[in-house]
Homo-oligomer: A and B are copies of this chain.
Amino acid sequence: MSEPIDVAVFDIIETVFSLEPVRRAITTCGLDGRDLETWFAFGLRDAFALDVTHRAKPFPDILADALDELLAVRRVGANQAERDAVLGAFAQMPAQTGAGECFDMLRDSGIRIVALSNGPAERTRSLLESADLDTHVSDILSVEAVGRFKPHESVYRLAFEATGAAPAAHCMIACHAWDLNGAKRAGMQTAFVQRGQHYPSVMEPSDMAGDELVDVARLIVERQG
Contacts and interface: CB of A to CB of B under 8 A. Distances in A.
A52 B202 contact: no
A131 interface: no
Chain A interface helix/strand/loop/mixed? helix
Among A35, A49, A62, residue most surrounded by chain B Cβ atoms (within 10 Å):
A49
Among A48, A61, A65, A203, residue most surrounded by chain B Cβ atoms (within 10 Å):
A48
Nearest to A56: B202
A190 B203 CA distance: 32
Contacts of A151: 49, 52-53
Interface in A36-50: 37-38, 41-42, 44-46, 48-50
Taken together, the copies of this chain in the complex come to 2
A57 interface: yes
Contacts of A45: 41, 44-45, 48, 178
B73 A202 contact: no
Given A38-B38, A68-B198, A52 B61 contact: no
Contact of A37 (B38, B71, B75): B38
